[in-house]
Each structure stands twice: as C-alpha cells, then as structure tokens.
Copies of this chain bind each other. A is one copy, B any other.
Amino acid sequence: MNTRIAYLLAGVATLAGIIVVGIAALGTGRADEQSGRAYVTTIPPGYRDWKFISVAHEEANFNSFAAVLGNDVAIKAYREGKLPFPDGAIIAALHYRHTPSEENNKVFGQAQSFVAGPPTNIQFMVKDSKKYSATGGWGFAHFQDGKPADEAFMKPCFPCHNQAKATDLIFTRYAP
C-alpha cells in the first residue's frame, strides 16, 4: 500500500475511535440522569463534629440506635422551623447496635440500660434540589466500614422517604 494512504487510513481509524469513545461516554452520562441515579458516594467531611438533632431506637431487624446530627445549614433550618430544607443542608444518621450495658446494669441493680454498641453504618441525606431533582431534592448515602453501598441497595431510600412529603422527606424531628 502507498505509505501516505496507510497513514491516512490510520488517522481516520484513530479519529473514528475517538469519536466512538466520546459518544459512548456521553451516552452513559445521559443514561445516569435518565435512570435517576442519585446517591452520594463520598462521606461529607467533618460530620462527626456536627450538632445534635435527635436520637432514635429501632427494634425488629435493625435493633439499633440512631444519633441524628446536622451541618449548620440543616440545624439552622430545623431551629427556624423552616421547610423545605435549603440546598446545602446535610443530615447524618449514625447507627450503632442497641447494646445492653453490663456495667450500668450492675450499678442500677437491674437490667435496664442500653448503650451505643458497635457502629453499624452511617447514612446521609444531602439537599441539592437541582442535582437530585429526581429524588425529591435529596441525595441519599449509606456507608458501612467507610464504603458506599451500591445502586441496588440505595433504591428503596427515596420511595420510603417520599412518604414524609409533609416534612420534606425527613422523618426526624428536632429534639429541644
């Protein structure tokens, strides 16, 4: 083959390759948005220092404690009684085993005392009404041992929280 034609064919092939890859990448992005995938995979920094919102205790499958904390935007909204939560609000639910405390029970003289046992998972809800418009304005997150859950795991978050429309999808009330 003529060398110049060879180079020309190589160049066209390369260009075609680049165009194909580019289209594929764009296609994936659109699919993401269309599928409504909207969950958070990075732990918001500094969450352990956030202010206290409330506590909860779940029996049954969970058998757990939740300590609910909020960043300053979330806390401010709670204290002002302001719904919906503004963009930038982040609420964290730190989960632990609901564990009997032998030491406390000895002191009380009877079995009555439960404390936060081993941590089980940390969940977040991140408010961004544009980015997460498909899921009520909230991006959901679940981390176990620092690792984010996968998409299948995260699917039930929104439909369940969507039953709390009256309180902007947030079940937890502020504890005075």
Contacts and interface: CB of A to CB of B under 8 A. Distances in A.
A116 B60 CA distance: 18
A171 B104 contact: yes
Contacts of A49: 51
A69 B52 contact: yes
Interface stretch (A11-19, A105-113, A136-144): A105-113
A55 B97 CA distance: 11
A129 interface: no
B107 A163 contact: yes
A65 B115 CA distance: 10
A110 B60 CA distance: 9
Where chain A touches its partner, the secondary structure class is mixed
Interface residues of A, number: 41
B171 A54 contact: no
B52 A67 contact: yes
A137 B175 CA distance: 30
Contacts of A96: 55, 175
A83 to B, nearest CB: 15
A67 to B, nearest CB: 5
Given A55-B115, A56-B115, A59-B112, 14 more contacts: A48-B52, A51-B51, A52-B67, A54-B67, A56-B104, A57-B57, A57-B113, A57-B115, A94-B175, A103-B171, A104-B171, A107-B171, A119-B175, A119-B176
